Structure 1
Amino acid sequence: MPALGLSRRTIVILLVALVVVAGGALYAFQPWKAFTTTTVDETLPSASAPATPGTPSTPPPGAAGPVDLARGSFVSHEHATSGTARTVRLADGKQSVLRLEDLATSEGPDVRVYLSPRDARSAEKGLGEGAVQLGKLKGNRGNQNYSVPAGTDLSAFRSAVIWCERFSVSFGAADLTPA
């Protein structure tokens, strides 16, 4: 006898629809990430001139070490976020990285690292025109480096932002104050 007056075919269709909707929700929200942690512990890279065959890959004599260009502390937006962001020009003087130190935030689906022309407070509402994506967040804890594309004018950016692409929200941001 059919339950609630529904035919067996209707019940099967409803169950299939429920499975599809549940699968879509799991894909979109990835709720298990609320209970996971990915720790990354990268050292600050040392840049050097490209090696030519038969020569070691070392900086030229007298080359200066990495130079801090700007830094700031993260403030929380949609998720509790802390740590420090630094823009660093590497020893070769040509390459720059955004370095996140002692980062602590939530994991989430499709989380990216951006440089934004907006300050940290304004970045909560959006990245702003001209924001530059540096890559997927490598881990929600620890120390990590993101290469800044060659030719990027770092003085045009006011903050580093941890941004969830899927839901268009900022987890947190750090104002980048010149060093």
Structure 2
Amino acid sequence: MVTRLLRGPLVRGALAVLVVVSALGLWWFQPWKLVTDSEVDEDLSVVVTVAPPPAGPTTGGTVRKPTGGGPSGGRTAPGPLLVGEGAFVTHEYATSGTARIVRTPDGRHRLELVGLDTSNGPDLRVWLTDQPVRSGTAGWRVFDDGRWVELGRLKGNRGDQAYDIPADVDLADLTSVSIWCKRFAVSFGAAPLTPVG
């Protein structure tokens, strides 16, 4: 009788612990995200590329000066200007698409992910970093080693999406973008941001 009474509370206690641990495990790993997709279709910039001004003297021995006062070597771009771009490489999960930095006519910057296709996962963030992009497992965990700026949670694991870059962020040494799983400190995929022009 005594063992039956002791066994009842112990079993109930063990079951309660098991339920709590299972619930925490499901919340932490969120395994359903591996089989579900979240698609985003935001409007992206129609970028222009501006050729550099011609070098050297023109007729009459005078030097040709660029017109206007915009960010492209003295010329005002008629629309958003492509500053840097690169293709995603796979890290923890198969990832494809293009990342690009765009400067708007008013001088602001934004990161645009074009045709992104990666796995869904828990706590995914978009990071600009100063780390080089390496293929394979060598590149999985390097992006939190140096300087990084978080632009926000990943809006969706598929599709076109844009993230504003705060005005106080110095882009000079931020040379890559990572889809970073903050919970497990691993990159799902990353792209180098190669300067354009």
TM, length-normalised to structure 2: 0.77
Distance 2:82 2:140 in 1: 25
Asked if 1:27 is matched to 2:27, the reply is yes
* Gap change, CA 1:70 and 1:45, over 3 Å in 2: closer
* One-letter amino acid of the counterpart of residue 173, structure 2: A
Shift in Å, 1:123: 5.0
Asked if 1:137 is matched to 2:154, the reply is yes
Partner of 1:125: 141
Aligned-residue Cα RMSD (Å) equals: 2.2
Distance 1:101 1:149 in 2: 20
- Which aligned pairs between 1:92-107 and structure 2 lie closer than 5 A? 92=106, 94-107=107-120
- Which structure 1 residue ranges, 5 or more long, are not aligned? 47-61
Alignment counterpart, residue 162 of structure 1, candidates 174, 179, 184: 179
Shift in Å, 1:126: 2.5
Contact 1:116 1:123 in 2 (8 A): no
Contact 2:34 2:121 in 1 (8 A): yes
Runs of 4+ in 1 over 3 A off after TM superposition: none
SS in 1 for 2:131: coil
Partner of 1:82: 96
- Which structure 2 residue ranges, 5 or more long, are not aligned? 47-75
Residues 73-127 of structure 1, C-alpha deviations (whole Å, 9 max, x = no match): 00011111110000010121x2100100000001111100000000111652232
Could you tell me the percent identity over the aligned residues?
48
Distance 1:25 1:108 in 2: 14
Shift in Å, 1:45: 5.4
* Gap change, CA 1:9 and 1:101, over 3 Å in 2: same
Alignment counterpart, residue 114 of structure 1, candidates 109, 116, 127: 127
Shift in Å, 1:175: 0.7
* One-letter amino acid of the counterpart of residue 9, structure 2: R
Distance 1:71 1:174 in 2: 8
Query: Alignment length, in residue pairs?
Result: 163
Partner of 1:9: 9
TM, length-normalised to structure 1: 0.84
Contact 2:141 2:185 in 1 (8 A): no
Distance 2:191 2:15 in 1: 46
Asked if 1:147 is matched to 2:160, the reply is no
